[in-house]
Structure 1
């Protein structure tokens, strides 16, 4: 075992956490953002410590709670001791990882896992994409965790109301979105209803992509990456540790918009009005 985690070279990238309760769509979201499944299928639902995903092809390793490291095998992730592991480091050659690191957190509501397993990784994050299941959106357990997140992280975070297609009527969609927006007022930088599975299956189908709700979410996400890139360039300290009220610089556009999460619009297709997103899409202003 090594005595410490290898230090990254060059300016750090923004670190965006994928969070939510179990079965809220985090695995599908990571597939959508990365363009591939980051973990072997058999371990996607296994109890794991947070998985920190960066660009590259290095050997994956685990970081112990004491800071020591050791290589791990993707085929044996289910055997990694959760309580003794601070995080698993995974490297993938996905285009979006040229711009950011993703940290995939375990479900916050897992009764078989102590909350300390994921709480000890919170100081590493700059922002969160939080997934809440549309049919039981924004439960008290979610609100309780979000209450502990500092404003500097909240204002750059995104709330996804996932599996929105499970709400079968416009009335239900409006009702759920209105309630969630009321209960999370000023708590996120943007709130978007989405069907992640439909987005993943859309391919080059423009209408299906935008109809899933992915278009507005991705547009906002790219803007957020630019803002977080400017923040990360100013400080090696993740925003979780930044005192509330710290001035935020003007956002800068990322040099590369990751193709894996761009709207699949054919360049030769004539311009037209974008189809309406699922009822309730909203970006919070000034939060």
Structure 2
């Protein structure tokens, strides 16, 4: 009897030690899978084509559309079908009528961030690391998945500060939306792998405060987004940027500061679309 008792006791202890780690791992929250990044990791040298409405027919039906409004400078307001609102490069000057759910910031200049955001904003994401390490964002807010890819910025003179800027990527309603922030250098293959597919691209067109038109146009051409939204226009007229692109691109000036986009409504030919206010 005693031997049977000891056998069951040791068997129970062995089972606990054997299977307990698996149970713990199963209870951990898995990392959200990026639909925009998966292809890029498999094809590191790929140059991505536009994700056209024809290609969209192979994907599941998407309910609703995303509204993107230009507020000023580098600030867009992205409104998701699920009611999440996201303000990019938020500095408090170009604030929407009601506090957004999420704001992203970059540290190049005070016109791209604020250290005193409206306390009603639920989520504030810095594009730079607050603890000396690169910023790493990978989170789901409502129906939006938000992540970032860090780049360097000029810190004064010719010096560069590592990881001072973030390209924020918003995955909403099966769309991949990217905001380049205050991009100061051309991207390398590792950046493109991390970014993946971008259906909609928000790009600075200041002609040199970030990068010159030629350098910026090469980034835009490599990403090959369906819808390109200029921002951060300072100095040269917008035509200096548009002239970098040939007949492969459509160019159009909008009659509004907002555009509604769904996966199925993306233009089949890349469109540089200048919203009112830019």
- Does TM, scored on the shorter chain, surpass 0.5? no
The answer to which structure has the higher helix fraction is 1
Whose RCO is larger (CA < 8 A, sep 6+)?
1
- Give the TM-score taking structure 2 as reference length: 0.33
The answer to which structure has the higher strand fraction is 2
Structure with greater Cα Rg: 2
